[in-house]
Amino acid sequence: MSRIRIARHTSLPVCLALLLALLLPALAQAHGEKQRPEKTGILLAFFGTSVPEAEAALQSLENKVKAAYPKCEVRRAYSSNIIRAKLAESGQRLDSPAKALATMMEDGVTKVAVLTTLVIPGEEYSGLARTVAAFDGMPKGFDAIALSEPLMSSPKDMPEVAAAFMKTVPAERKPTQAVVFMGHGTHHPGNIYYPGLQYYLSKLDPNTYVGTVEGTPSLDDVAAELKKHAMKSAYLIPLMAVAGDHAQNDMAGDEPDSWKSILTAQGVTCIPVLRGMAGQDPIAAIYLKRLAETLNHLEK
C-alpha cells in the first residue's frame, strides 16, 4: 500500500554512522540543546464546509479519532481556500494544512499522521500530498510524516468501501426504491473510482446508482438508468464527507436544475438524505482504519 513517507535516516558508512551517533548527543548538550521527547500528532485534513449543520459530520469523526488516540495531539485543517475565506468573514479562523503542520512542528510534534477525508485520489489529494511532501527533510522538522490514502484508493479495498456505503442507506428504504449516490466528480484520472464504485455497488444491489456533479457518471447517466429500470422512487445520498453546499443545493435544492427537481420532473419521487459520510459509523470505521495504517507506517 503506497504512502507518502519521510525517511528518517540517510545512507552512511557504518563507521561514520557510529561516530555521529556518539558525537551528536554530546555536541547538542554542549550547545545547550536537549534531545526532544517523542510526540505524535494527528492532523485531520478536511476539505472543509461553510454550512454549520454540515460541520457536525466532521466533528463526529474528530471525536472518534480523539477517543481512539487520547495520547495524540489531534488538530484540524481545511484545505479549501474558498471555505476558509468564507469562515474568516464570520470570525472563524481555520488553518490550511501547511499552516497547521508548521504550527505542529513549532510545538514540538515529532511524528505526524495526516488523515484525509477525501473520497478519491484526485486533484485535491494530489495537492495535499505535495503539501505533506514539502515537510520532508526540513531542518529540525518532523522525524516522520505520512499521509493516509483516500476512501477509495485501491481495487482491493472497493468491496469493503461499497458495503460500507450501502450501510449508510436509511433502513426504511424498500428494495423497489432506487439509491442514487451523488459524488463530486473531477476531470482528474482519479474520477475512474466512481464508475468503479458503480460496479461494486451493483453487485450488492442492482437498484443502486452513482452519479457525479462534475465527472462521470453524470446525472444524465443516472436518469437514463432509472428510466430503463422503471424506477419511480429514489433516495438521494451525498457521496461526500459532509452534506454541504453540493448536497443541499445541487442535490436536494428546490431550484429547477437540482438533481431532485430534474428527477422529479421525470417522474421519480426523490427522498434526499442530508448526512455527510464522515459522520456515518460504517464510513468512519474505514477512516479510522486508514489512520491506524498511517500511524503504523510512521514507525517503519
pLDDT band at 43 (very low <50, low <70, confident <90, very high): very high
Same domain for 128 and 112: yes
Quick check: 241 and 58 in contact, CB under 8 A? yes
Q: Note the pLDDT of residue 32.
A: 45
Same domain for 223 and 142: no
Residue 17: is its pLDDT beyond 90?
no
Is the C-alpha dihedral spanning 202, 204, 208, 211 positive or negative? negative
More confident position, 9 or 259: 259
Rounded to two decimals, what is the model's pTM? 0.86
Cell, residue 269: 419521487
53 domain residue, yes or no = yes
Same domain for 107 and 196: no
Quick check: 244 and 234 in contact, CB under 8 A? no
Same domain for 267 and 286: no
pLDDT band at 138 (very low <50, low <70, confident <90, very high): confident
* Residue-wise pLDDT tens digits, 192-235: 999 999 999 999 999 999 999 999 999 999 999 999 999 999 99
- CA distance linking residue 70 with residue 58, whole number of Å: 18
DSSP state of 257: T
The CATH number for 265's domain is 3.40.50.1400
Identify the active-site residue in 184, 188, 229, 246.
Answer: 184
Phi, psi of 12 (to 5 degrees): -130, 150
* Residue-wise pLDDT tens digits, 234-267: 999 999 999 999 999 999 999 999 999 999 999 9
Mean pLDDT, the chain, as a whole number? 89
* Domains contained in the chain, number: 2
pLDDT, mean of residues 36-58: 94
Q: List, in sequence order, every residue forming a beta bridge with 181; answer none if it has no partner.
A: 210, 237
Distance of alpha carbon 142 from the chain centroid: 22
Same domain for 292 and 237: no
Quick check: 45 and 128 in contact, CB under 8 A? yes
- CA distance linking residue 19 with residue 29, whole number of Å: 16
Domain that includes residue 218, residue range = 169-274
Question: Is 184 designated active site?
Answer: yes
Q: Note the pLDDT of residue 13.
A: 37
Q: Note the pLDDT of residue 226.
A: 98
Same domain for 145 and 206: no
Q: Note the pLDDT of residue 89.
A: 93
Cβ-based neighbours of 207, under 8 Å, separated by 6 or more: 175, 176, 177, 178, 179, 229, 231
Taking the alpha carbons at both ends of the chain, their separation in whole angstroms is 13
Same domain for 142 and 44: yes
21 domain residue, yes or no = no
158 domain residue, yes or no = no
Q: Note the pLDDT of residue 111.
A: 96
Same domain for 227 and 178: yes
Q: Note the pLDDT of residue 185.
A: 95
Q: Note the pLDDT of residue 34.
A: 58
